[in-house]
Structure 1
Amino acid sequence: MKSWEVPAKPFSAYTKKYKTGIVLGGVTDVHKLPRDRVFTKQGADRILHAAKLYDLGIIENILVSGGSFLEDEDAISEALQMKKILVQCGIPDSAIFVEGNSLNTRENAIESAEILKVKFPEETHLLITSAFHMKRAMGCFEKVDLNVDAFSTDFYTSDGSLNVNPLESIYPTEESLNITYRVSREVLGFIVYRVLGYT
């Protein structure tokens, strides 16, 4: 997983300003009730880091991208759920754009491009998504001719070493099996997207 994840960079390494930070979905639980609040999953730091990037003036706007697989009338898009969190973080409504139709990474790119090429043609944007998903996401956004740089979040690996029993580094665990499944699935997705011409 560590060799596949795109490494994080400190905020200070982002010396240029970006018109928009694009936050990809997959971080809220649209199935969880009640619907009077937003429930997040592991990748919630995508949203929190986007808010920090805005506060630091690195990005001027935030575009949240993600639809809903639910068909009931109470369901809202994941993009709208992420917007709720950003507003709670103090981001002004005028700085948040919502793309609530996409259901996968390729559609994230296509739908986001339709918005950004009209509002901010020829600008460079910052793509904010999970480190293990960044390679495929970057490929999709570049394929639709959007200028994007990477901002990796939601890491499955850590830096440094832990003082653990040596046997734990070779003995299979539930967590390591989950990480192996996730990276294998992502690598396969990257290959399929490449074959289909999505990246």
Structure 2
Amino acid sequence: MFFYFSQLFSFLIMPFTICLATLVIGFFFIHRKFGKRLIFGAMVLFLFFSNSYISNRLMHAWEPAPRELETLPVYEIGIVLTGITNIDKLPKDRTYFNKGADRVTHALQLYKMGKLKKILISGGLGFDPIHPKSEAESLAEFLVWAGVKKSDLILETKAVNTRENALFTRQVLDQAGFLPMAEANLLLITSAFHMKRAKACFQKTGLYPDTFPVDYYASEPRLSLQSVFQPSVQSIFTWHRLVKEWVGIVVYKLAGYT
């Protein structure tokens, strides 16, 4: 229930929605003094949230730093969290990647380098699916095509959120006999902005994986005329990612998921 509620109503707390609502209310009361103030406030908010220097600086501070590949030890299992494919695209004879493909391509690279012995992919059907193939199955097909042995793949196909990723991954590892042997030799692979919440969810289940953040939104902060004065739609999207993640962390904490 929490998953579906968050998918349907999370837009209400997003910066763009707040700016737009402020602007619409301001226009509705445009003949009153506070209406004009709301319009002015909405314009200021739009300029703030579309500033690429501010959004990039904030995201850069939030995302954990990347890890150098050569410094990594060998892990028994790399755990890849999904949410990176277009589940509404047909036909299902290929994998349609969205932003976040680094989660699986970097896992593939680590496997090819000998840093991962096996890859566990966690992810079910998502919200309102149009096809019964889970995201984990779709990504597994891609990895096999890319040269990963089927015997080196472990699939968890029920999870629809980060908490379930952690819970069901532990169940799959336990049922397959990998625990407690591999408990201290796991590598969690997910987007950098999402790593804090994901790691906390896994620790709540008693798993303490090492982490490998991927899919970075931030670049190295750099002051320039373009970043300071040119509005950017991508900056608003960056704010949406951050706000949604921050709210998710608070809600997960209150619900006892982390």
- Give the deviation of 1:196 after TM superposition: 1.1
1:3 equivalenced with 2:61 (yes/no): yes
Whether the 8 Å contact between 1:143 and 1:198 is mirrored in structure 2 is yes
Alpha-carbon displacement from aligned partner over 1:162-182 (angstroms, at most 9, x marks no partner): 8x5x15324431010110111
Distance 1:190 1:71 in 2: 25
Which residue, out of 64, 79, 85, partners 1:22? 79
Counterpart code for 2:257: Y
Which residue, out of 215, 220, 225, partners 1:159? 220
Which residue, out of 169, 172, 177, partners 2:236? 177
Aligned to 2:149: 92
Alpha-carbon displacement from aligned partner over 1:63-108 (angstroms, at most 9, x marks no partner): 0010003455x42000001101111110000000010000000000
Query: In the superposition, relative to structure 1, how do residues 194 and 158 fare at CA in structure 2: closer, same or farther (>3 Å)?
Result: same
1:102 equivalenced with 2:159 (yes/no): yes
SS in 2 for 1:48: helix
Distance 1:193 1:54 in 2: 32
**Farther off after superposition, 3-12 or 126-135:** 3-12
Counterpart code for 2:188: L
**Structure 2 portions without partners, runs of 5+:** 1-58
Distance 1:168 1:9 in 2: 27
SS in 2 for 1:62: strand
Which residue, out of 111, 118, 129, partners 1:54? 111
Whether the 8 Å contact between 2:60 and 2:221 is mirrored in structure 1 is no
Aligned to 2:188: 127
1:147 equivalenced with 2:204 (yes/no): no
**Structure 1 portions without partners, runs of 5+:** none
1:117 equivalenced with 2:180 (yes/no): no
Aligned to 2:52: none
SS in 2 for 1:43: coil
SS in 1 for 2:101: helix
Compare the two structures and name the one with the higher helix fraction: 2
Q: TM-score normalized by structure 1?
A: 0.92
SS in 1 for 2:100: helix
Two-structure CA RMSD over aligned residues (Å): 1.6
Q: TM-score normalized by structure 2?
A: 0.72
SS in 1 for 2:104: helix
SS in 2 for 1:26: coil
- Report the count of equivalent residues: 195
SS in 2 for 1:185: helix
Q: State the identity %.
A: 39
**Farther off after superposition, 137-146 or 109-118:** 109-118
Distance 2:206 2:168 in 1: 12
